[in-house]
Structure formats: structure tokens, C-alpha cells
Structure 1
Amino acid sequence: MSERMKQGMATRRRVLGNAHVDRAEAAKDGFDAPFQEMITEAAWGHVWSRGTITDRERSMLTIALLAGLGNDAELALHVRATANTGASREDVLEALMHVAIYAGVPRANHAIGIAKRTFEEMGAA
């Protein structure tokens, strides 16, 4: 395992939590293993591990981008990750307010619904 891969895995675990990463790792097989390795090294090892901005800031950026692009499953995953990144519910709402202006009210409205449900699930857990 390369140093970049090790760093990516450590960052991925810090942000998403061990339970999520363990499930994802257990579910990968010969078909998607190369993809999992690529995102661990590229997204988590190169981008999330840069240290130029905080995990909180990166979390807010990621949530806004995912919402603006309509990536619902990934959006819920990253809303759950706010428990580890330090981004508050207010931070998430601020990010989604930006989505409304720059990517469209329907995208933001849908994302706010996803965030509300995800935060409710997190509170119930």
C-alpha cells in the first residue's frame, strides 16, 4: 500500500467513520476494488488530506457540490460525516443556501429535505 493510499484510508476513516469504511471495504470485490482504491487514493489521499482547509470547510464544499449536482446518496453520506468533520447543521444550511442561488432552488430544496431526514436519523441513532 502506497503512502498516499495509507493517508487516504486514514482520512476516509476519520471523516466517514470506521463503521462505514469497514462496510465498504467488506463489500468490495474484484469488480469494484480498483474504483475503491482510486477514490481512496485520489479523493481521500490527494484532496481531503491536503491540509490547506479544515475538514469542516471541505465538508461544506462537498455538501454544496453534491447537492448542486443532485448526488443524493453521496449527499446523505456527507451529511452524516458532519458528525466527524465539525460542520454544524447551520453550516450545512448555509452551504445549501448557496446551492439555491448558484445551482437552483429545486436542487437546494431537495437537498434540504435529504439533510433534514439524515439529521433526524442521526439524532435517533
Structure 2
Amino acid sequence: MSEAAEKGMKTRRRVLGDAHVDRAEAAKTAFDAPFQELITEAAWGRVWSRDTISLRERSMLTIALLAALGNDQELAMHIRATARTGASKEDVLDALLHVAIYAGVPRANHAIAIARQTFAEMERT
């Protein structure tokens, strides 16, 4: 495993939690293993692990980008990750307000509904 992959796995676990990463690793097959390795090294090891901005700020950026692009499943996962990144509900709302202005009200409206549902689920557990 490369240094970036090792750093990426550590950051991935810090942000998403051991349970999520363990499930993803257990579900990995020979077919998608190269993809899992790519995201661990590139996304988590080379981008999320940079020390130029905080995990809170990266979390907000990621949520805004996922919402703007309509990546709903990833959006819910990253909203759950706010429990570990330090981004608050208010931070998420501010990020989604930016989505409304720069990417469209329908995308933001849909993302806000996902955020509300995800935060409610997090409060129940």
C-alpha cells in the first residue's frame, strides 16, 4: 500500500467511521477493488488528507458539490460524516444555500430534504 493510500485509509476512517469503511471493504470485489483503491488514494489520501483547510471546511465543500451534482447517496453519507468532521447543521444549511444560488433552487431543495431526513435519522440513533 502506498503512503497516500495509507494516509487515505486513515482519513477515510476518521471522516466516515470504521463501521462504514469496514462495510465498504467487506463488500469490495475483484471487479471494484481498483476503484476502491483509487478513491482511497486519490480522494482520501491526496485531497481530504491535505492540511490546507479543515475537515469541517472540506465537509461543507463536499456537501455543496454533491448536492449541486445531485449525488444523493453520497450526499447522505457525507451529511452523516459531519458528526466526525465538525460541520454543524447550520454549516450544512449555509452550504446548501450556496447551492441554491449557484446551482439551482431545485437541487438545493432536494438536498435540504435529504439533509433533514439524514439529521433526523442521526438523532434517533
Same fold (TM over 0.5): yes
Alignment pair present for 1:38 and 2:23: no
1:14-38 alpha-carbon deviations (Å, 9 max, x no partner): 0000000000000001000000000
Deviation at 1:6, TM superposition (A): 0.3
Distance 1:89 1:75 in 2: 14
Q: In structure 2, what is the equivalent of residue 69 of structure 1?
A: 69
Q: Please give the TM-score of this superposition, normalised by the length of structure 1.
A: 1.00
Please report how far the alpha carbon of residue 7 of structure 1 lies from its aligned counterpart in structure 2 after TM superposition.
0.1
| Alignment coverage as a number of residue pairs | 125
Aligned pairs (5 A) from 1:1-125 = 1-125=1-125
CA distance in 2, matches of 1:95, 1:51: 21
CA distance in structure 2 between the partners assigned to 1:36 and 1:121 by the alignment? 27
What do residues 26-79 of structure 1 show as CA deviations (whole Å, max 9, x unaligned)? 000100000000000000000000110000000000000000000000000000
Q: Post-superposition shift, 1:114?
A: 0.1
Report percent identity of matched pairs. Answer: 78
Q: Name the Cα RMSD after superposition.
A: 0.3
Counterpart CA distance in 2 for 1:43 and 1:31 is 19
Q: Which contiguous aligned blocks of 4+ residues in structure 1 show a shift greater than 4 angstroms?
A: none
TM-score of the aligned structures, taking structure 2 as reference length: 1.00
AA partner of residue 3 (structure 2): E
Structure 1: distance between partners of 2:110 and 2:117: 11
Q: Distance in 2 between matches of 1:55 and 1:2?
A: 22
